[in-house]
Structure 1
Amino acid sequence: MFRPLSVFVGLRYSRAKHKNKFVSFISIASILGISLGVAVLIIGLSAMNGFEKALRDQLLSVVPHGELEMVSGSFKNIDKTLKQVKAHPDVVSAAPYITFSALLQKDEQMKALQLRAVSPDSESSVTSIEQYIKQGGWDLLVPGEQSIILGKSVAKKLSVTVGDSLTLLLPDKQSGSRLKSPRKLKFKLVGLFDMGGQLDNMLGFIHIDDAKQILSMKSANAVAFKVTNLLDAQKISRDIGYSLSAYLYIKSWITSQGSVYQDIQMVKSLMYIILLLVVAVACFNIVSTLVMAVNEKRSDIAILKTMGASKWMLRGIFVVQGAFNGVVGCLLGALCGVYLALNLTAIIKYIESLTGHQFLSGDIYFIDFLPSQLDISQVISVTAVAFIMSVLSTVYPAWRASNIQPAEELGYSH
């Protein structure tokens, strides 16, 4: 098969043994360096993609995308408000709720948390909390029975299980400047949810009708809604909030959980830059390899020039030789990176089982495993960038090889 002379000679030089063993060592080091940089970059980006997917599919499945809460009092006409919210083209569904702080007591144990009074049917259209009910059931949250659903962490702290009774402590209304003793209400624990992270430790659910009776409210004081585009949730929330005539707190998942998303994006960007610099350092080894290879092949270059080889052909020989190292390193790194990224979760779980140490705690983070999601477009872009960097690193040695003077080299050899 026909091949350009520069490609043929460059590939021969790539496979040939070097007189100086140090040149071979540097060549292997450059290939391994590029492979390591590409593999780690693919694994790291896949892990960040996994965190982003877990944030979207898990945390944001139980946190409302957008919320409108009355500054004081409740909505005068909640049905009209819901219609106005749902009328927005980017809103998928909406549900009313009441939110308030309370203190739970079981014997001598007490726990403060945020209670969210919802209607189970309408809440299911906005969040997927029912998927995380591990004991009891979402359907057991019925009006008039003073039932409550708590996070696993809260139940553990209070030492209660499904079916136990709890005391709900609420501040009583002020009478002038005097404060009355708190109201005590009996509630029955009918379910436990396990979402992971801080939500398990700070959130509880009761039925909205029970909350209306307890707080003497005629209607809900907040509306939660689900949007089509998660990243536009803050803008959509503002648009809806400004269109209503009530005084509202306008919130979205970006205000409550946005720091997690921003941290993921920042780590992804920093990882991309830092590991590309690792690849760049590995590419400098290609420069060293080719510079030593040029010094080793000076007489060969001189002979090729006397036989009519042009400067561009000589440059092509050493570009091909350096690019060969880049191709091998990039492909080896891409294959290792893809394999490890696809099996990252299983590998980390195996390491955790061997060491007995859990890398991610479900009590702190919103997940208790290391996620991974491979993006083929990222694999292609990382591999392409690493290859381009390896080719660029061949320019100086190739240019230097083309400037060798045959008369000087062949003259010295005699």
Structure 2
Amino acid sequence: MFRPLSVFIGLRYSKAKHKNKFVSFISVASIFGIVLGVAVLIIGLSTMNGFESALRDKLLSVIPHGELETVQGEFTNEQQVLTAVRSHPGVVGASPYIVINGLLQNNIKMKALQMRAIEPESETQVTSIEKYIKQGGWELLTTTENGLILGEPVAKQLGLSVGQRVTLLLPQEGETKLKAPRKFSFILTGTFKMGGQVDTTLGFIHINKAKQMLNIEHATGIAFKVDDVLQAQVISREVGYSLQVYMYVKSWITSQGHLYRDIQMVKSLMYVILLLVVAVACFNIVSTLVMAVNEKRGDIAILKTMGANKWSLRTIFMVQGAFNGFIGSVLGALLGTFIAINLSSVFSAIEGMLGRKLLSGDIYFIDYLPSQIDYQQVAVISLVAFVMSVVATIYPAWTASNIEPAKELGYSH
């Protein structure tokens, strides 16, 4: 019969004003600390989720998930290899390519660039870079024999506009003596802007033109897309080992994996650091309840003389502390969720006030602060904060249950 009464008294104690104003201050501070810790943890993890999502949906949409490159020569059995790669259960699509490292020249302006020779018809199965083409499109690579698509920053650096000609310089192959480079003329048929280093390091031409330039008949690489980007390394190895060709096996984890690992590391550190902030706030609950117990020693003694057992008294103060933890967790979850939902807008407003971009698209693969809420994470964070606040009540509650009525009420044996 004392259990409901204990809850009732505990809630009354939570809402009642303390005689000592310092106790009230510590109580409010503990709630505010939990609110702040929970909210910041939700906002931080939502930001990391946003970066992870942007990495997966944007950067990995223009970079092949896996690549196979011949160690020497070309894929003489190109169609058979393509068929074998596409038949793998984890592969969504595949496309042949050739990589050429050269130097673009327009008058006196030059830019070193990696030219990726693609087959426009099948490239859409592997990447989605056509979504970021601002002018022109893949079809112009087919209709224009010497068509070239460059990133906007490269085109500006070379002083090029769509329709103008540019020269590609390639070194002489198989020669030990220094000779003049081979020159090939191209027409800029389009530009793209994705953000990050891709815009400044990559250009696209048709694979048939590259074959003519290199005097080969087949592709030197096969790019493919997988259904699970996090398993790209495993699937790439499975595909590579299934083929009887001596080649290099690569995945996006090789070239861009550091970004994903950095995001995961920051998420882990954020969990630990901000949970410690919540733990410090919960420690304030211990201080609050210890002082509350000292303040209510007479009440505790009277309850004991009326027949209240130790667990009833413990429950009273556990409920009081848990109430603070519950309020802090709920308010923190609501505040954190609200800010996380509007984080991109808030960040843009701050950039507008400062008059400059805080995230440069030329350096990072995005120029905004992303945010993606995982409501399961919100629930876990709130629950952990509440459990920590309940654990913090154990010592003060145990102390309250050990108070002796005879000493408190002035009785003697």
Q: TM-score, normalised by structure 2?
A: 0.97
- Look up the SS of the partner of 2:410 in the other structure: helix
- What residue is the counterpart of 1:367 in the other structure? 366
TM alignment of 1:1-400, pairs within 5 A: 4-142=4-142, 145-175=145-175, 177-400=176-399
Once residues 3 and 379 of structure 1 are traced to their aligned partners in structure 2, the CA distance between those partners, rounded to angstroms, is 31
Once residues 304 and 338 of structure 2 are traced to their aligned partners in structure 1, the CA distance between those partners, rounded to angstroms, is 46
Say what the alpha-carbon RMSD is for the aligned residues: 1.3
- Look up the SS of the partner of 1:103 in the other structure: strand
- Look up the SS of the partner of 2:169 in the other structure: strand
Q: Determine if contact 2:3/2:312 at 8 Å carries over to the other structure.
A: no
Once residues 174 and 376 of structure 1 are traced to their aligned partners in structure 2, the CA distance between those partners, rounded to angstroms, is 60
Once residues 163 and 252 of structure 1 are traced to their aligned partners in structure 2, the CA distance between those partners, rounded to angstroms, is 35
Amino acid across the alignment from 2:360: S
- Look up the SS of the partner of 1:362 in the other structure: coil
Q: Determine if contact 2:196/2:361 at 8 Å carries over to the other structure.
A: yes
Following superposition, the deviation at residue 3 of structure 1 comes to 7.6
Following superposition, the deviation at residue 144 of structure 1 comes to 5.8
Once residues 346 and 40 of structure 1 are traced to their aligned partners in structure 2, the CA distance between those partners, rounded to angstroms, is 17
- Look up the SS of the partner of 2:97 in the other structure: strand
Amino acid across the alignment from 1:54: A
Q: Determine if contact 1:173/1:180 at 8 Å carries over to the other structure.
A: no
Following superposition, the deviation at residue 109 of structure 1 comes to 1.1
Once residues 131 and 10 of structure 1 are traced to their aligned partners in structure 2, the CA distance between those partners, rounded to angstroms, is 60
> Relative to structure 2, which stretch is displaced further, 143-152 or 161-170?
143-152
Amino acid across the alignment from 2:48: M
Following superposition, the deviation at residue 147 of structure 1 comes to 0.8
- Look up the SS of the partner of 2:85 in the other structure: helix
Q: Determine if contact 1:30/1:325 at 8 Å carries over to the other structure.
A: yes
Q: Determine if contact 2:167/2:186 at 8 Å carries over to the other structure.
A: yes
Amino acid across the alignment from 1:44: G
- Look up the SS of the partner of 1:317 in the other structure: helix
- Look up the SS of the partner of 2:406 in the other structure: helix
Amino acid across the alignment from 2:278: V
Once residues 198 and 9 of structure 1 are traced to their aligned partners in structure 2, the CA distance between those partners, rounded to angstroms, is 63
Once residues 90 and 165 of structure 1 are traced to their aligned partners in structure 2, the CA distance between those partners, rounded to angstroms, is 41
- Look up the SS of the partner of 2:378 in the other structure: helix
Report runs of 4+ in structure 1 exceeding 2 Å deviation.
none
Once residues 153 and 279 of structure 1 are traced to their aligned partners in structure 2, the CA distance between those partners, rounded to angstroms, is 46
Following superposition, the deviation at residue 247 of structure 1 comes to 1.5
Cα 1:3/1:394, change in 2 over 3 Å: closer
- Look up the SS of the partner of 2:365 in the other structure: coil
Once residues 128 and 380 of structure 1 are traced to their aligned partners in structure 2, the CA distance between those partners, rounded to angstroms, is 35
- Look up the SS of the partner of 1:373 in the other structure: coil
Following superposition, the deviation at residue 231 of structure 1 comes to 1.1
Amino acid across the alignment from 2:273: I
Amino acid across the alignment from 2:392: S
Following superposition, the deviation at residue 138 of structure 1 comes to 2.3
Once residues 171 and 137 of structure 2 are traced to their aligned partners in structure 1, the CA distance between those partners, rounded to angstroms, is 29
